[in-house]
Each structure stands twice: as structure tokens, then as C-alpha cells.
Amino acid sequence: MTAGAPRADGGGAAPGSGSGDGLRTPSGRPGSTPLLACPRPRRADAEDNRARIIETASATLTGSPGATLQSIAKAAGVGQGTMYRHFPNREALLLAVFRADVDALVDAAPRLLAEHAPVDALRLWLDRLAVYGHGRHAASQAVAAAARGSRFCPPVAGALEQVLAACAAAGRLRPGTHADEVLLLVSFLWQADGEPVGRESTARMLSIVIDGLCATAGADARG
């Protein structure tokens, strides 16, 4: 039987009956564009929504670091459901908006280790973390969100773990030290009210932290 020829029993597919080739245009009339093509524009719309949210958030957070997800969604012209599908919490949005800042912090770890002794690399990496704490308020919130725990940004904890491993291999680190614990220890970089502490105080406190992390190892070596 020739393709498309009527069936002998007269049971040819009627337009809109759902039989035959089953491909109909969104209007319900036979055509070359199947309904199966509809999800593709929806995916494109989702990407457009995400990009618009990030662009709006970047502009909004620059002038108003405490802006809520709801206010950003409204400014971006999307519903709250759309916002939360893309960014389930504030930290996720901050990390997306200021991803370059977080990536720079992560990328610094291997470079510092290549150029400096392990303990010096640790000090310089933590100094860089402190610089972000004193930078743009919203950007510092993003790095703080990453530093609060690896559940938000595993690469940050991984970068610090790389530096700590080098210190341990050189016999310069307190045994059993882990990146998540150190990140929690240096959380003083962001005060409870969100304002960064003074630069001089930060430098002194970071020195105390590093001396503490290396104290036991140094004492064991001398013994």
C-alpha cells in the first residue's frame, strides 16, 4: 500500500481523531510541526528567565545588597515559583551573580602553592578570603555563603583542602585539620550584622588562626 493512501475499509484517520500519524500542530490541524516540538521553546524560555534573573539581581544587589528574592523576582518580571525553581535560596543566587569572584578565590589555591611555601600559601589564601570580605557587600555575602559550608560551594572547601594538604605534607599543620572547620573558624571575617570587621583586626586574627593551626606541628617537630 502506498504511504498516505486511504485504507480499503474506509478507516482512514480523520483530522483531529488522534489516529493516523498522531502529529498535529498546536492548533489541532494536520501539519508538519508536531506537538512534540513544544518543550524546546519552554527550555529556551527557562534559560532566558534565568539569565534575566541574574542580570536583574546583579543590578539590584549593587545598590541594595539586602534585596529579597521576592523583590528581585518582581523586578525581573518573573513569578516567585520561577525564581525558586532556578535559585532555591539566597545563597544560590548570590553565588550565580558573583561566580567570577568565587572562581577567582578557588583558582588562587594552586597558583599560590606553586609560588610559595605551603604555610605562606595558606596565609595568602586566607588574606585573599579576607579581601573579599572587605569588598562589595553583596559579593562578600556570596563568598561568605560559599565559605559557610561546602554544601553551597564545594570548590571553595576543595581549594582550601588542597592548601591544607600541602601544609600537612610539609609537617606544618595540626593533625586532623579539615577545610570545613577552618572556614568555620575564620567566619569572623563577616560579623553577625553583615558588616566586615576592620582590616587591622582581621590581619591580627588571621595570624592567630594560622599560628594555632601550625603550633602543634611546630612543637612536635622541635620535640
**Is 52 a member of any domain?**
yes
**Listed residue (93, 65, 63, 64) closest to 78, CA to CA:** 93
**Distance in angstroms (rounded) separating the CA atoms of residues 193 and 31:** 61
* Together in a domain, 118 and 153: yes
Comparing 185 with 135, the larger pLDDT belongs to 185
- What percent of the chain is predicted at pLDDT more than 70? 63
**Is 94 a member of any domain?**
no
* Together in a domain, 67 and 106: no
* pLDDT tens profile 49-70: 999 999 999 888 877 878 899 9
* Together in a domain, 82 and 105: no
* Together in a domain, 64 and 117: no
Contact 99, 74 (CB under 8 A): no
200 has a pLDDT exceeding 90: no
* Together in a domain, 60 and 150: no
Contact 174, 217 (CB under 8 A): yes
**Is 204 a member of any domain?**
yes
Least confident window among 5-19, 133-147, 168-182, 200-214: 5-19
pLDDT-derived band at 30, boundaries 50, 70, 90: low
Q: Could you tell me the sign of the dihedral formed by the alpha carbons of 115, 120, 125, 127, in that order?
A: negative
Report pTM: 0.62
DSSP 28: S
**Listed residue (213, 166, 165) closest to 185, CA to CA:** 213
Instruction: Give the chain's largest Cα–Cα span.
Output: 99
Number of domains present in the structure of the chain: 2
What pLDDT is attached to residue 196? 53
Least confident window among 33-47, 88-102, 107-121, 141-155: 33-47
Listing DSSP states for 145-190 in one string gives HHHT-TTT-HHHHHHHHHHHHHHHHTT-S-TT--HHHHHHHTGGGB
**Is 141 a member of any domain?**
yes
CATH number of the domain encompassing residue 212: 1.10.357.10
Range(s) of the domain holding residue 80? 37-88
CATH number of the domain encompassing residue 67: 1.10.10
What pLDDT is attached to residue 2? 52
What pLDDT is attached to residue 135? 57
What pLDDT is attached to residue 36? 42
* Together in a domain, 74 and 110: no
* Together in a domain, 153 and 62: no
Q: φ, ψ for residue 66 (rounded to 5)? A: -90, 10
**Is 152 a member of any domain?**
yes
**Distance in angstroms (rounded) separating the CA atoms of residues 86 and 83:** 5
**Is 5 a member of any domain?**
no
* Together in a domain, 197 and 158: yes
Mean pLDDT score across all residues of the chain: 76
* Together in a domain, 112 and 209: yes
**One-letter amino acid of 50:** R
189 has a pLDDT exceeding 80: no
Domain boundary among 88, 122, 154: 88
* Together in a domain, 124 and 70: no
Least confident window among 16-20, 57-61, 114-118, 198-202: 16-20
* pLDDT tens profile 90-139: 888 988 888 877 888 899 999 999 999 999 999 999 988 887 766 556 66
**Is 6 a member of any domain?**
no
**Is 18 a member of any domain?**
no
* Together in a domain, 103 and 157: yes
* Together in a domain, 167 and 139: yes
**95 Cα distance to chain centroid:** 4
